[in-house]
Amino acid sequence: MLDNFGREITYMRMSVTELCNLRCRYCMPEDGVCKKAHEQMLTEDEMINAVRAASSLGVKKLRITGGEPLVKKNIVSICARSAAVNGINEVCLTTNGTLLPKLAKPLKDAGVKRLNISLDTLSEEKYRYISRVGELKDALTGIETALETGFEKIKLNAVLIGGFNDCEISELAALTKKWPVDVRFIELMPMYDSGDFGSEAFIPYTVVTDRLPELTEQNADGGVARLYRLPDAKGNIGLISPVSAHFCAQCSRIRLTADGKIKPCLHSGAEYSVKGLDLEGMRTQFERAILAKPKWHGELDAVNRSHAGRNMNEIGG
Ligand code: SAM
Ligand code: SF4
């Protein structure tokens, strides 16, 4: 379906939980989330109906996200049933990777084709700092298990944070020489409660091209990242700039939160609920949400924070 600005909506990001086994400082508060009542959250059947409704309007690609999707007990079933929905060509998943040693194979068998795995640092100490509670070795073991499992594509995502990991840009980028993965640097977005970071933390993607003059530009792959490559690398470097050079004109996305709210735009407070609705009711809500997509998300910086009204773990990124 086309929105009011002629953009075709073909991609849904569906969050299956707000809960997480980490507490990344840019994503959620230290004391975790105020757990919503079970009845407020979508059931598995409602999630699958929502995928059907979105697919009937032209969504072809589904990304399962969270919170941490792998803490959800029925995650394998959600993925398998989503992958079986008519019209869904591709089910991908975004994870912090720590639970992949147990779940990589069942997820692949369920039809998940591609994984994005978050990895902001290669320092044990910094990993503990940024995630508040996590261990780097768990994420690295998860990445290695995913590589052995044979997914179609694995991308490692690092949020670029000035004064934290900008000194590791070369090391993180060099992972594309060690492994057949893409490494993507994503600009830090000023969410509602990610108050740990001052304006110095918000650095533009151009820092990466400045630090790595040996990068050569690659053709875009239809995604939102600008693509580059290091000499002799097995994968690309992707730069994603929601803040310094937004890509709203190419937006093909719609988001569904774990409590059943369709978000026409990541950074807008507008939400359309599908909780408790049947397939037809959900379809109508998706139509409304797609027609309500704004032209762009508005200015974002340390002062002009996101209007999402939620932290990232309550949206899914
Ligand atoms: N738990 C999974 C993970 O960490 O990959 C999936 C959910 S997480 C909310 C999805 C993505 O959002 C992750 O890549 C994470 O780094 C990113 N993210 C969270 N907060 C962000 C922020 N303030 N700015 C930019 N990216 C953010
Ligand atoms: Fe959890 Fe992912 Fe948010 Fe980190 S970024 S706290 S792993 S949901």
Could you read off the pLDDT of 115-170 as tens digits, one per residue?
999 999 999 999 999 999 999 999 999 999 999 999 999 999 999 999 999 999 99
Please list, in sequence order, all residues whose beta carbon lies within 8 angstroms of the beta carbon of residue 93, skipping any fewer than 6 positions away: 63, 64, 65, 69, 79, 107, 112, 114, 115, 116
Structure tokens at 241: 């700039």
Per residue in 13-53, pLDDT (tens digit) is: 999 999 999 999 999 988 877 678 999 999 999 999 999 99
Q: What is the mean pLDDT of residues 244-255?
A: 90
d(CA 267, CA 25): 18
DSSP for the chain reads -B-TTS-B--EEEEE--S--S---TTTS-TT---PPPGGGSPPHHHHHHHHHHHHHTT--EEEEESS-GGGSTTHHHHHHHHHTSTT--EEEEEE-STTHHHHHHHHHHHTEEEEEEE---S-HHHHHHHHSS--HHHHHHHHHHHHHHT-SEEEEEEEE-TTTTGGGHHHHHTHHHHSS-EEEEEEPP--TT-TT--GGG---THHHHHH-TT-EE----SSSSEEEE-TT-SS-EEEE-TTTS--GGG--EEEE-TTSEEESSTT----EE-TT--HHHHHHHHHHHHHT--S-----SSSS----SS-GGGTT-
For the chain, give the longest Cα–Cα distance: 53
* Pocket flag, ligand 1, residue 65 (CB < 6 Å): yes
Per residue in 191-225, pLDDT (tens digit) is: 866 567 888 899 999 999 999 999 999 999 888 99
Q: Is the pLDDT of residue 179 over 70?
A: yes
Q: Is the pLDDT of residue 189 over 60?
A: yes
Pocket test for ligand 1, best of 14, 22, 23, 27 (most atoms within 8 A of CB): 27
Q: Among all ligands shown, which has an atom nearest to the Cα of 194? A: 1
The amino acid sitting at 238 is G
pLDDT of residue 195: 61
CA of 315 to the centre of ligand 1 (A): 9
Share of the chain above pLDDT 90, in %: 84
Confidence of residue 307 (pLDDT cuts 50, 70, 90): confident
pLDDT of residue 245: 81
Which residue, among 245, 227, 255, has the nearest Cα to 301 in the 3D structure? Answer: 245
Contact present, 134 and 127 (Cβ < 8 Å) = yes
Q: Is the pLDDT of residue 259 over 90?
A: yes
CA of 139 to the centre of ligand 2 (A): 12
Structure tokens at 41: 């959250």
* Pocket flag, ligand 2, residue 155 (CB < 6 Å): no
Measured at the CA of 194, the angle between CA 298 and CA 100, to 5 degrees, comes to: 105
pLDDT of residue 247: 82
pLDDT of residue 191: 80
* Pocket flag, ligand 1, residue 186 (CB < 6 Å): yes
Measured at the CA of 203, the angle between CA 198 and CA 208, to 5 degrees, comes to: 150
Query: pTM value?
Result: 0.96
Q: Give how far Cα 65 sits from Cα of 15, 17, 163, 170, 228, Å.
A: 5, 8, 28, 28, 26
Structure tokens at 222: 């239809």
Q: What is the mean pLDDT of residues 290-311?
A: 82
* Pocket flag, ligand 2, residue 66 (CB < 6 Å): yes
